[in-house]
Amino acid sequence: MLHLRVITPADLTERVLDVLDAEPGATAIVVMTGAARSPAGDLVTADLARECVNGVLDRLTALRLREVGAITLEEIDTALSVAADRAAADAPGEGQDAVVWEQIEDRTHEESTLSWVFLLFLTIATVIAGIGVVLDQPVLIVGAMVVGPEFGPLAGICVALVRKRFRALRRSLRALLIGFPVAIGVTLLLTLLAHSTGLVDKSDLDRNRPLTDFISHPDTFSFIVAFLAGAAGMLSLTAAKSGALIGVLISVTTVPAAGNAAVAIALGDLGSAGGSALQLSVNLAGIIVAGTLTLIAARRGWHRGAAATH
């Protein structure tokens, strides 16, 4: 269930209530006349089954409440109510299959925006990955995967493609196309500094590195893993399964590939750098393709399920 809060001008309150009263998946409807001060108006709250949220939001935004009032959605962790159980049962489709588009767009907006925080996290992750490559330490590689924030803009691209939100697409692409070069550049400069002090040497890359050598040697399984991770990551976002998302973050070698490329360029190993660049490209493409297809399939599958319940 999701908790809906609407601030509405008094002359639209009855129309808001008509929308909620007509929705079988809505319950716990409360009206507080004149309770809102900024923006001024009435406060209407309700609990909604996930399956009906998109339809309710479409009808409420058609009333221009986005401009003259406010609409807020919040997750409900626990709802002890027979009425809520009945509303969830009466709503068409299955809640776990429903994609609440406004929610997922809002969730990916902040994560896909180029900012100093995004650049710092991506740079730190890439530096950690570079150190992990030099030391052949998979623990550092996994740490870099977890720290890296790149799944946010990748998910943003998928949502933007499916929803045809071209401004959001440009925002997400900007984060990736600026973020990765900056992170690689900083890691390259730090590697050159470490090389000048004798801390690292080209021999560190030439020696046998059985635990991290896969990063610069992409193969068919690289795309398969990225594809599966992209699908799982998108499902975790649409279903708000944070635990599954963490699993995705440690399964794809995007940031480690960037770190390996930076270190290899700095130490003059262009072959390894090329392999890492290819690994990075394969993983990014696999995630985007899978994430987009997963959203399309989820939307079509839910519509069929909802229609079957009528």
Are 87 and 108 found together in one domain? no
Tell whether 219 and 165 lie within a shared domain: yes
Range of the domain at 143: 103-305
Q: What residue has token string 């710092």?
A: 120
The residue out of 42, 71, 91 marking a domain boundary is 91
Residues 233, 108: one domain? Answer: yes
Tens of pLDDT, residues 130-157: 999 999 998 899 889 888 889 889 999 9
CATH of the domain at 83: 3.30.70.120
Q: Are residues 42 and 113 in the same domain?
A: no
Reply yes or no on whether the pLDDT at 95 is more than 70. no
- Residue 17 CB coordination number (10 Å): 17
259 shares a domain with 151: yes
In a domain, 158, yes or no: yes
Number of domains the chain is built from: 2
Same domain, 292 and 178: yes
pTM over 0.85: no
Phi-psi region of 33 (alpha: psi -120 to 50; beta: other; left: phi over 0): beta
Q: Is the pLDDT of residue 302 over 70?
A: no
φ/ψ of residue 47, rounded to 5 = -105, 135
pLDDT in tens, 188-219: 999 999 999 988 888 878 788 888 888 888 88
Is 99 a residue whose pLDDT tops 80?
no
| Same domain as 134, residue 53 | no
Stretch 49-54: mean pLDDT, rounded?
86
**Per-residue confidence at 87, pLDDT binned at 50, 70, 90?**
confident
pLDDT, the chain, mean:
87
State residue 75 phi and psi, 5-degree precision: -70, 140
What is the spatial distance between Cα 67 and Cα 8, in angstroms, rounded to a whole number? Answer: 10
Question: What secondary structure does DSSP assign to 261-304, as a single string?
Answer: HHHHHHTT-HHHHHHHHHHHHHHHHHHHHHHHHHHHHHHHHHHH
Pairing of strands 40-48, 2-8: antiparallel
Q: Distance between CA 232 and CA 245 in Å, rounded? A: 7
Same-domain status, 78 and 27: yes
Largest CA distance in the chain: 75
Give me the phi and psi of 164, to 5 degrees please.
60, 45
What are residue 48's DSSP bridge partners? 2, 26
Least-confidence region, from 82-96, 211-225, 277-291: 82-96
| Sign of the CA dihedral with 35 first, then 37, 42, and 44 last | negative
